[in-house]
A = this chain, B = another copy of it.
Amino acid sequence: MNEFDSAATAGGNGATPRPRLEDVAARVGLSTASVSLVLRGVPGPSERTRQRVLKAAADLGYRPDRTASALASKRSRLLGVMIDIHSAFQAELVEHLHTAAEEVGYDLVLSTQTRTRDESTAVETLLAFRCEALILIGPVAPASVLADLDRQAPVVSLGRRISGAGLDVVRSADDDGLSQVIDHLVSLGHRAIAYVDGGKGVIATDRRRGYRSAMRRHGLDEQISILHGDLTEEAGDKVGRQLLDDDDLPTAVVTFNDRSAIGLLTALRRAGVDVPGDVSVVGYDDDTLSRLACFDLTTVSQEAEELARQAVLAVVERLDQGRTASREIVLAPSLVVRGTTAPPR
């Protein structure tokens, strides 16, 4: 009936102290040591003991105290994850990180950076929880700072490339992603392909670079056009209106991410521009939103699930398998062609 606790709880808000290991032990007439062993599934106790302990624990509604066991074992089995709570793509990563971590017996603690809460505060919080490792999604701190941090707990940079800081990186090949996008557009017949930038981060640099070199590869040096942008829908919207004002629309626009693309797309359509008839639009990330029929955005998928899995794997290798050398895992992104791209008029 009750989905939250497996046993009856005595009433009176805060009146009943939660059962301790000792209470379970007393109930079956064993030592706390044995109960601890059983509850953690450590081999040793006899089958009969196991059953009795398990039963008693269930009867009492016993729930181990993480803080106490973390203190005693000096292992918190906690992974700290820093995210930007406003990003749909990051939300999806978190989802997959959860499942991946669970499989290897770790729990996640989320710390979010917002307008009012910066990266270092977020990390600070994670450390205070005694996380054994940190998974930072698209960190912006300088490499040296992250390297320092890695000395306190293994750090995995998820999404952002970091060279020679000695920490693990799990990312997808951003330049490759953009290259695929340009190839697709060129094969459709586009030549005037603009790119909307995504701020000053490393990821933005990689994608911009990917755009540039792909354009050159196709002999479209002259057509290279990089518009100043940012990571939010708002930025895309702004660029869209700017393009409309200038009355000089390219035949295709590629944006740093889906959020920006959606802002752009909506601004254009709202002004009566036919997408993909008049202009093709391509995003990046394969956000949940981009998949919606109403946007149906052509984009690049970063394989969120695999990224998450690899990040957790990297952490486990460091924590449980004693790896010390840093690793960089680069996954290949894949173009997802949907409804916002078509041959130019």
**Interface, chain A (partner B; CB < 8 A):** 1-5, 9-13, 16, 18, 63-68, 70-71, 76, 85-86, 88, 91, 94-95, 98-99, 107, 109-112, 114-117, 119-120, 123-125, 127-130, 141, 144-145, 148-152, 154, 233-234, 236-238, 240-241, 262-263, 266-267, 269-270, 288-289, 292-295, 324
Contacts and interface: CB of A to CB of B under 8 A. Distances in A.
A85 B93 CA distance: 11
A322 B154 CA distance: 42
A116 B141 contact: no
A110 B80 CA distance: 11
Contacts of A151: 9-13, 16
Nearest to A146: B4
Given A98-B112, A129-B66, A151-B9, A85 B85 contact: yes
Top-6 shortest CB links A-B: A266-B294, A3-B120, A67-B67, A110-B110, A237-B294, A85-B91
Contacts of A11: 151
Contact of A112 (B18, B66, B110, B236): B110
B88 A95 contact: no
B116 A148 contact: no
Given A5-B152, A263-B292, 13 more contacts: A2-B148, A3-B119, A3-B145, A4-B120, A9-B148, A9-B151, A13-B151, A63-B127, A107-B125, A110-B111, A241-B293, A269-B269, A270-B294
A311 to B, nearest CB: 17
Contacts of A3: 119-120, 141, 145
How many subunits of this chain does the assembly comprise?
2
B95 A130 contact: no
A120 B237 CA distance: 39
Nearest to A9: B151
A91 to B, nearest CB: 4
B267 A149 contact: no
A267 B294 contact: yes
Contacts of A95: 85, 112, 114-117
B70 A67 contact: yes
Contacts of A120: 3-4
A241 B296 CA distance: 14
Nearest to A167: B13
A68 B66 contact: no
A185 to B, nearest CB: 21
Nearest to A293: B237
A112 B1 CA distance: 23
Contact of A94 (B10, B85, B94): B85
A277 to B, nearest CB: 12
A2 B145 contact: yes
Contacts of A12: 151
A154 B13 contact: yes
A234 B324 contact: no
B63 A71 contact: no
A340 to B, nearest CB: 11
